[in-house]
């Protein structure tokens, strides 16, 4: 976090109706995580600076607050418009330590760090782990992935575009640490897909 005053743009583009908007987004995020693989459409309730998707701006304005530490990938953390906007609209402190982060926002999905480098929670408190919000190009058009697990009847299929190749392998590793491990929200401009740590991902159909 810089001690510099934020640019005026930081003060624009938050929720118009903080209470109702946050409730609506909360419900959407909850549904996305309760029904992994379901594409949840998002209205543009916030207008964050360019590098942040409106869906991610809305999630941030809903879930981030003074008590949650946020890690931003280099693309975002070096962008003062983004850090200023998040600081004003969420009051959340930014952290350079992935292991301290309650949430992480990754704009450059190709450079996604190892999932293991984030907070994994403890056996006693598996919830003390990082939730990753990964911005990807689109929820469709990528290689097809088959999802199974709690919240999915039989199997679901998604085809996110822009995830790095090592993601599937990383995810398998994430599952071996259960109940510890990270949860992921894949965010595209048009909506989100939730990938809680319980979900099993296989390539191909």
Partner 1 sequence: MKEATDQLRNQEPSDPDQAARQQAMAVLARASGDELSEAWDAWPDRPEVSPVRGPETGLVMVRGRIGGGGAPFNFGEATVTRATVKLSTGRIGHAYALGADKDKVRHAAIFDALWQDEATRPTVEERLVAPVRRRLGDDDARRRDESAATRVDFFTMVRGED
Partner 2 sequence: MYVAVKGGEAAISNAHQLLADRRRGDRSVPAMTIEQIVEQLGLAVDRVMSEGSLYDKELAALAFKQARGDMIEAIFLLRAYRTTLPRFGYSNPIDTGNMLIERRISATYKDLPGGQLLGPTFDYTHRLLDPELMGDGAVDEPQSREAETGHTPRVSEILDQEGLIEGDGELPDDHRTGDLTREPMEFPMTRDVRLQALSRGDEGFLLALGYSTQRGYARSHPFAGEIRIGEVEVEIDVPELGFAVILGRIRVTECQMINQFQGSAKQPPQFTRGYGLVFGQSERKAMAMSLVDRTLRATELGEDLTAPAQDEEFVISHSDNVQATGFVEHLKLPHYVDFQAELDLVRRMRGEFEARQNATGQQGDNLEAAE
Residues lying near partner 1 in the complex (CB under 8 A) are found at 1-3, 8, 11-12, 14, 18, 69, 88-89, 93
Q: Which residues pair with 59 in a beta bridge?
A: none
Site size with partner 2, rule: CB under 8 A: 16
Is 81 near partner 2 (CB under 8 A)? no
Estimate the crossing angle of helix 54-63 against helix 18-34, to 10 degrees.
100
Chain centroid to CA 26: how far?
A: 13
Which among 38-46, 87-95, 115-123, 166-174 is the span making contact with partner 2, rule CB under 8 A? 87-95
Question: 1: helix, coil or strand?
Answer: coil
Separation between Cα atoms, residue 147 and residue 154, nearest integer Å: 9
Per CB under 8 A, the list member of 69, 80, 81, 88 interacting with partner 2 is: 88
- Asked if 123 interacts with partner 2 (CB under 8 A), we say no
Q: Which does 67 bind (CB under 5 to 8 A by kind): partner 1, partner 2, none?
A: partner 2
What is the spatial distance between Cα 22 and Cα 15, in angstroms, rounded to a whole number?
A: 8
User: Quick one: 67 exposed, middle or buried, by C-beta within 10 A (0-12, 13-18, 19+)?
Assistant: exposed
Question: Residue 14 interacts with partner 2 (CB under 8 A)?
Answer: no
Q: Which of 50, 66, 204, 205 binds partner 2 (CB under 8 A)?
A: 66
Instruction: Give the whole-angstrom CA distance, residue 103 versus residue 60.
Output: 9
Rank residues 15 and 167 by Cβ distance to partner 2 and give the closer one.
15
Q: Which listed residue (21, 87, 95, 135) binds partner 2 by CB under 8 A?
A: 87
Q: What are phi and psi for residue 33, nearest 5 degrees?
A: -80, -25
Which member of 12, 91, 97, 122 binds partner 2 (CB under 8 A)? 91
Judge if the upstream peptide bond of residue 179 is cis by omega within 30 degrees of 0: yes
Nearest distance from residue 8's CB to partner 1, in Å?
6
Q: Is 5 in the site for partner 2 (CB under 8 A)?
A: yes
3-state secondary structure 30-52: HHHHHCCCCCEECCCCCCCCCCC
How near is the Cβ of 112 to partner 1 at its closest, in Å?
A: 26
19 versus 205: smaller Cβ distance to partner 1: 19
The binding site for partner 2 (CB under 8 A) comprises 1-6, 10-11, 65-67, 84, 87-88, 91, 93
């Amino acid at each position: 976090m810089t001690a510099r005053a934020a640019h005026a743009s930081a003060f624009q583009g938050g929720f118009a109706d903080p209470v109702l908007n946050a409730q609506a987004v909360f419900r959407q995020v909850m549904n996305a995580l309760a029904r992994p693989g379901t594409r949840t459409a998002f209205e543009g309730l916030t207008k964050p600076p360019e590098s942040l998707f409106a869906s991610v701006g809305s999630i941030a304005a809903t879930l981030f607050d003074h008590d949650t530490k946020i890690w931003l990938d280099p693309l975002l953390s070096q962008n003062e418009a983004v850090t200023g906007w998040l600081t004003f609209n969420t009051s959340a402190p930014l952290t350079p330590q992935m292991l301290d982060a309650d949430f992480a926002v990754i704009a450059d999905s190709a450079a996604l760090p190892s999932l293991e480098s984030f907070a994994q929670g403890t056996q006693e408190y598996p919830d003390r782990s990082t939730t990753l919000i990964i911005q990807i190009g689109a929820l469709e058009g990528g290689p097809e992935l088959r999802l199974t697990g709690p919240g999915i009847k039989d199997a679901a299929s998604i085809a996110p575009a822009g995830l790095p190749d090592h993601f599937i392998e990383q995810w398998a590793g994430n599952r071996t640490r259960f109940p510890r491990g990270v949860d992921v929200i894949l965010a595209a401009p048009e909506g989100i897909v939730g990938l809680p740590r319980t979900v099993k991902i296989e390539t191909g159909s």
